[in-house]
Structure 1
Amino acid sequence: MKFTIERDRLNNAVKKAGSVISARPTVSIMGHFLLDVQANHLVITATGLDQTITLTLEANIEQEGKATVSAKILSQLVQRLPNGDVSVSLDERGMVNVVCARNAFSLQSLDPLQFPIEGREESRREFMISTSQLCGNIANVLTRFLLKKQKHQ
């Protein structure tokens, strides 16, 4: 994975994506951004307990791939970088390298396959139910709930 993007565009995206991440994630990878570098764009995904945000940015793509990086560290780092182009790459050791002007940083990446993406094909379940059947099921649940509530009063 390797791409180059203008610092301000990356900074705005990580600020926006970081807004859904919990301050104290229960699983460490949930405190990370998923960076998915595709044919002509960068896709940044962040997830919290109840929200997921995906942002697609145009970038100069040199090599496709995926990596995760700590949202907090990347956000703080990008915010402090000087204006200009930021080059981001994943090396063979699993480190995400961020270079801008004379600044160079290496951040540890976790396995991108462990990133909890809502709506992945393998976790998606679909079914069809008629309107009348759905309404009947809701009525049954409400009736049982009300009867239970009356017994406890």
Structure 2
Amino acid sequence: MKFSIEKAVLNKAVSQAQSVVERRNTIPILSNVLIEATPEGVSFRATDLDTEVVDRAPATVERPGATTVSAALLNDIARKLPDGALVNIAFDADSGRVSVQAGRANFNLATLPREDFPVMASTEYTANFTAPAPVLRRLFDKSRFAISTEETRYYLNGVYMHVADGEGGRTLRCVATDGHRLARIDAPLPEGAEAMPGVIVPRKTVAELKKLLDDDEAEIAVSISETKVRFANPTITLTSKVIDGTFPDYTRVIPRGNTRRLEVDAADFARAVDRVATVSSERSRAVKLALDEDRLILSVNAPDAGAADEELAVAYADEPLEIGFNAKYLQEIAAQIDRENAVFLFNGSGDAALIREGGDESAVYVVMPMRV
């Protein structure tokens, strides 16, 4: 194997591939990236057995072939090479070593046999469709903050992607919850997605997916089966096992009878919460919302640290209400809101609040109250 590749191209491809590699591995080959050179170009493949990423890059291939080298080591070398350098990479089968040369810098790296590298088995996907990158990015970006990190409730450790009945017909929906807050985001249902099974996309895969969706012009090919999901843009393919579990019936926790309506500037609200929460105890970070006619007072009372309050002009015309929430949860939800105003719908001080982005019904958030 022998090829030449630009430093920036190599850096990007190796960085993308090696990000799925676990730092501590009991299986040495899983620390490596599989490099495959063909007349069409070079691909870099990495896996942790649950997730696999393949990044294809343009290169001048003099001799096709394949081998594996340490992903972290190759990533560090690619990052530190001079900008604009042409990198020459060659594998010598006799010595079992890979040479990396750029300018006057030369590296000689150990390899492991490509035959030992585990390639994720191909699956018959039951649904195949394409969707614009910005649509998928919105679905996952707006829901990912609510993914649970509690390993015992493993079925909440991802985003539930499925077909649902929305306000204007069937939609592609992503839902995440940790039991304290919930995000439900809808997008128009792409052609070909009608028969897709509902799958829970793991937290790590959602994080990797963010890099694959950064091109606004890209169309993403999505393939789904009961056990796997695959996302592909023109250069990167991300394949992942899905979480083997049943996502709970989230519709039961979305309030339907909340009639007390508060409308507030989302950015002003987020900043005010951040300011008053400065004095709250780290453990609870509870913020009290006191609502009266067209007025909201945010307050925190932390006996050990002090107290703070701030008043905001809002649109509110219902009975007075006092309700408490975790400040971090309020800030995270406010950060998702793209529109100018956030709309809160309350019932009572002990009931979950429903939050929307202005009049947009395609994004709904729920947050449980706290005692203050």
Q: TM-score with structure 2 length normalisation?
A: 0.32
Match in the other structure for 1:90: 91
Paired residue type of 1:53: V
Paired residue type of 1:62: E
Q: 1 or 2 for the larger relative contact order (CA 8 Å, sep ≥6)?
A: 1
Paired residue type of 1:2: K
Is 1:36 the equivalent of 2:23?
Answer: no
Conserved in 1, the CA contact under 8 Å of 2:49 and 2:120?
Answer: no
- Using the TM superposition, give the Cα deviation of residue 48 of structure 1 relative to its aligned residue in structure 2, in angstroms: 1.1
Alignment of 1:41-56 (within 5 A): 41-56=41-56
SS at match of 2:33: strand
For residues 121 and 58 of structure 2, what CA distance do their matches in structure 1 show?
Answer: 23
Is 1:59 the equivalent of 2:59?
Answer: yes
Match in the other structure for 1:150: none
Q: Percent identity?
A: 34
Match in the other structure for 2:253: none
SS at match of 1:34: strand
Match in the other structure for 1:24: 24
Which one is further off, 18-27 or 62-71? 18-27
SS at match of 2:78: helix
SS at match of 1:109: strand
Residues 46-100 of structure 1 show CA distances to partners (whole Å, capped at 9, x for unaligned) of 0013100011111000000001000011111111111210000001211000000
SS at match of 2:50: coil
For residues 13 and 119 of structure 2, what CA distance do their matches in structure 1 show?
Answer: 18
Unaligned runs of at least 5 residues, structure 1: 127-153
Runs of 4+ residues over 4 Å off in structure 1: none
Size of the aligned set, in residue pairs, is 123
- Using the TM superposition, give the Cα deviation of residue 19 of structure 1 relative to its aligned residue in structure 2, in angstroms: 1.1
- Using the TM superposition, give the Cα deviation of residue 25 of structure 1 relative to its aligned residue in structure 2, in angstroms: 1.6
Which structure would you say has the larger Rg?
2
Conserved in 2, the CA contact under 8 Å of 1:22 and 1:49?
Answer: no
Match in the other structure for 1:138: none
SS at match of 2:112: coil
For residues 104 and 12 of structure 2, what CA distance do their matches in structure 1 show?
Answer: 22
For residues 28 and 76 of structure 1, what CA distance do their matches in structure 2 show?
Answer: 18
For residues 26 and 56 of structure 1, what CA distance do their matches in structure 2 show?
Answer: 27
Conserved in 2, the CA contact under 8 Å of 1:21 and 1:48?
Answer: yes
For residues 25 and 41 of structure 2, what CA distance do their matches in structure 1 show?
Answer: 28
Q: Which has the higher strand share?
A: 2
Which of 76, 92, 101 is the equivalent residue of 1:99? Answer: 101
Which of 108, 111, 115 is the equivalent residue of 1:109? Answer: 111
Paired residue type of 1:93: S
For residues 74 and 14 of structure 1, what CA distance do their matches in structure 2 show?
Answer: 7
Match in the other structure for 1:15: 15
For residues 110 and 29 of structure 1, what CA distance do their matches in structure 2 show?
Answer: 7
Unaligned runs of at least 5 residues, structure 2: 125-372
Conserved in 1, the CA contact under 8 Å of 2:49 and 2:118?
Answer: no
Conserved in 2, the CA contact under 8 Å of 1:90 and 1:97?
Answer: yes
For residues 49 and 38 of structure 1, what CA distance do their matches in structure 2 show?
Answer: 24
